[in-house]
């Protein structure tokens, strides 16, 4: 377990507050590696030190601390997604093909529904255009009154 002063030396920082700022920037990612020691001292495991080094490298490359921590969160989230997507190897190709066929059938059904909907809306639009070009009932009535 590494103390704040150990981390300061390992990261090559000047003050303990710089270390604390970096810990605070990625606290959500560091949480599994973070412990409290005697007198509420902050202790970080070696895995956390690795994360802090990555953050420091991003910061040293010219990114702000906010940008660097955002990149760290994104990469951590992507790692979580990839880990959850790893299959157990038990699914067969036939199952995947069946799923693909079901998805294709659903998509075809949706496309046909959307085509029907577009045709209906085009009909309604044509009707409205006809109504707009035909004379109104009062126009016809005015013609009858003027003609009489």
Task: Transcribe 126-145 into DSSP letters.
Answer: HHHHHHHHSPPHHHHHHHHH
On whether both 53 and 98 belong to a single domain, the answer is: no
Residue at which a domain ends, from 33, 56, 85: 85
Q: What CATH number is attached to the domain comprising 25?
A: 1.10.1660
On whether both 8 and 79 belong to a single domain, the answer is: yes
On whether both 25 and 57 belong to a single domain, the answer is: yes
At residue 91 the predicted structure's pLDDT band, cuts being 50, 70 and 90, is low
Mean pLDDT of the chain: 83
* Total domains in the fold of the chain: 2
At residue 90 the predicted structure's pLDDT band, cuts being 50, 70 and 90, is low
pLDDT in tens, 3-47: 999 999 999 999 999 999 999 999 998 988 999 988 999 999 999
Tell the residue number behind the tokens 């989230």, with chain if given. 77
- How far is C-alpha 98 from the geometric centre of its chain's CA atoms? 29
On whether both 103 and 126 belong to a single domain, the answer is: yes
Residue 67 in tokens: 């940008």
Q: Give which of 46, 49, 40 is closest to 12, Cα–Cα.
A: 49
Whether residue 49 has pLDDT greater than 80: yes
Per-residue pLDDT, 14: 94
Q: Give the rounded percent of residues in the chain with a pLDDT score beyond 90.
A: 39
Domain boundaries, position 51: 4-85
Tell me the chain's radius of gyration from C-alpha atoms: 33
Q: Give the rounded percent of residues in the chain with a pLDDT score beyond 70.
A: 80
Residue 110 in tokens: 């949706």
The mean per-residue pLDDT over the stretch 117-132 comes to 89
**How many other CB atoms are found less than 10 A from the CB of residue 19?**
25
Return the higher-pLDDT residue of 133 and 125: 125
Residue at which a domain ends, from 68, 85, 102: 85
Residue at which a domain ends, from 63, 85, 107: 85
On whether both 67 and 99 belong to a single domain, the answer is: no
């Amino acid at each position: 377990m590494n103390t704040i002063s150990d981390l300061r030396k390992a990261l090559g920082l000047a003050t303990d507050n710089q270390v604390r700022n970096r810990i605070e920037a990625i606290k959500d990612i560091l949480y599994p590696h973070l412990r409290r020691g005697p007198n509420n001292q902050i202790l970080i495991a070696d895995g956390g030190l690795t994360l802090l080094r990555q953050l420091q490298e991003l910061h040293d490359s010219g990114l702000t601390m906010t940008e660097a921590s955002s990149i760290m969160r994104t990469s951590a989230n992507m790692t979580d997604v990839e880990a959850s997507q790893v299959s157990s190897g038990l699914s067969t190709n036939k199952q995947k093909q069946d799923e693909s066929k079901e998805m294709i059938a659903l998509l075809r059904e949706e496309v046909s529904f959307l085509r029907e909907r577009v045709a209906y809306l085009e009909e309604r639009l044509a009707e409205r255009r006809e109504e707009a070009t035909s004379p109104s009932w009062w126009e016809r009535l005015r013609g009858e009154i003027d003609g009489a």
